[in-house]
């Protein structure tokens, strides 16, 4: 009991315990598989991940329910605002649906520890939505006092879920680009990489450049280079397969299937939403491949 009280006093300790809660793994694996199957059938995965936005869609989408529910709670403190509160709660419940769908899509392609925290984060969000829906039902049937109490419960659940969402994003790195440090680790200017004739034709290989690893692909006399560390969660892109998207040659990450255009690192398919860093290349007269970070 004392241990539980201590944990609750330090929320990060609770979040870290959830990270290590292997008891969640069976439910997590089953739900993630179901979500991935639904995404494959729907064809809407890229939209839910936020690929057209260039960043995960879930964080901006949750602003609507949270904002509506917090506003309704404030209005509840003022007289004559019951209709406005009801409208805000209803809008929040409706807005929670796309927010949850986007969150589930991202969650289904995370690492095990991230998925454990994400599962509790999602359960908190579901609890918040259920309590707000119950609050709305109470209010429309004239039980305003009960409705206000349920709203407070819903906001509390949403706040707990929000804390875990922060832990997921900022401590466990879910949603952030894992290739962002490349811009700071790549030495400026042109750098010798290897002899062009040592590169196999048409097969990506990994080559070191200072602290970085690059995916390097030669096709005939053309050489392309990208950061090897996948922007989604750091998977080894050189182990991925090559694929075509229209006229463009792409590489598909072996971990979760993010697909990047080789020429410029653009995201063709998620779950990654951030562009993969690309390097300019040239072959010197002596046949050496040189690279430089593309700015
Ligand atoms: S690490 Fe997830 S798609 Fe590359």
pLDDT of 7: 60
Mean pLDDT of 217-242: 95
Q: pLDDT at position 3, please?
A: 63
Spatial CA neighbour of 158 closest among 90, 83, 31, 64: 64
More reliable by pLDDT, 5 or 192: 192
So what's the pLDDT on residue 121? 97
> Average of pLDDT values for 6-35?
89
> Mean pLDDT throughout 276-290?
95
Residue 53 confidence (pLDDT) above 80: yes
Pocket flag, ligand 1, residue 272 (CB < 6 Å): yes
Calculate helix-pair angle for 144-166, 11-19, nearest 10 degrees: 70
pLDDT at residue number 275: 94
pLDDT band at 6 (very low <50, low <70, confident <90, very high): low
Is the pLDDT at 282 greater than 90, yes or no? yes
Task: Please compute the mean of the pLDDT values over residues 198-204 and round it to a whole number.
Answer: 94
Q: Is the CB of 150 under 6 A from ligand 1?
A: no
Burial 210-241 (b: 16+ CB within 10 A, else e): eebbbbbbbeeeebbbbbbbbbbbebebbebe
**Mean pLDDT of all residues in 151-163:** 96
Average pLDDT over residues 287-292: 94
For residues 148-170, average pLDDT: 96
237 Cα: distance to centroid of ligand 1 (angstroms): 8
Query: Span 216-224, mean pLDDT?
Result: 94
> Is ligand 1 within 6 A of the CB of residue 260?
no
What's this model's pTM, rounded to 2 decimal places? 0.90
Residue 8 pLDDT grade (very low, low, confident, very high; cuts 50, 70, 90): low
Given a cut of 80, whether residue 183 has pLDDT beyond it is no
Mean pLDDT of 35-49: 93
pLDDT of residue 204: 95
Q: What's the average model confidence in pLDDT over 237-245?
A: 95
pLDDT at 2 over 80: no
Query: Best of 235, 241, 277 to mutate for ligand 1, by most ligand atoms within 8 A of CB?
Result: 235
Question: Band of the pLDDT at 258, cuts 50, 70, 90?
Answer: very high
Judged against a pLDDT cut of 70, whether residue 9 lies above it is answered with: no
Query: Residue 267 C-alpha to ligand 1 middle, in angstroms?
Result: 12
């Amino acid at each position: 009991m004392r241990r539980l009280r201590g944990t609750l006093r330090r929320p990060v300790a609770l979040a870290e315990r959830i990270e290590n809660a292997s008891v969640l793994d069976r439910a997590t694996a089953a739900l993630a598989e179901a979500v991935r199957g639904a995404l494959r059938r729907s064809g809407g995965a890229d939209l839910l991940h936020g690929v057209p936005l260039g960043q995960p869609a879930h964080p901006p989408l949750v602003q609507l329910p949270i904002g509506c529910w917090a506003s309704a709670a404030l209005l509840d403190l003022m007289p004559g605002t019951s209709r406005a509160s009801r409208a805000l709660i209803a809008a929040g419940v409706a807005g929670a649906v796309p927010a949850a769908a986007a969150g589930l899509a991202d969650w289904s392609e995370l690492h095990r520890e991230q998925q454990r925290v994400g599962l509790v984060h999602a359960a908190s969000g579901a609890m918040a939505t259920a309590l707000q829906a119950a609050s709305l039902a109470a209010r429309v049937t004239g039980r305003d006092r009960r409705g206000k109490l349920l709203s407070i419960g819903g906001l509390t659940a949403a706040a707990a879920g929000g804390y875990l969402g922060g832990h997921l994003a900022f401590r466990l790195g879910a949603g952030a680009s894992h290739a962002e440090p490349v811009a700071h680790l790549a030495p400026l200017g042109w750098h010798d990489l290897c002899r062009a004739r040592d590169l196999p034709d048409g097969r990506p290989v990994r080559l070191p450049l200072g602290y970085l690893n690059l995916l390097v692909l030669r096709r005939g006399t053309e050489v392309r280079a990208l950061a090897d560390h996948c922007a989604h969660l750091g998977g080894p892109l050189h182990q991925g397969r090559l694929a075509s998207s229209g006229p463009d040659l792409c590489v598909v990450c072996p971990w979760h299937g993010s697909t990047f255009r080789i020429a410029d690192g653009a995201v063709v398919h998620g779950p990654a939403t951030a562009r993969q860093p690309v390097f300019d290349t040239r072959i010197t007269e002596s046949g050496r491949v040189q690279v430089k970070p593309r700015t």
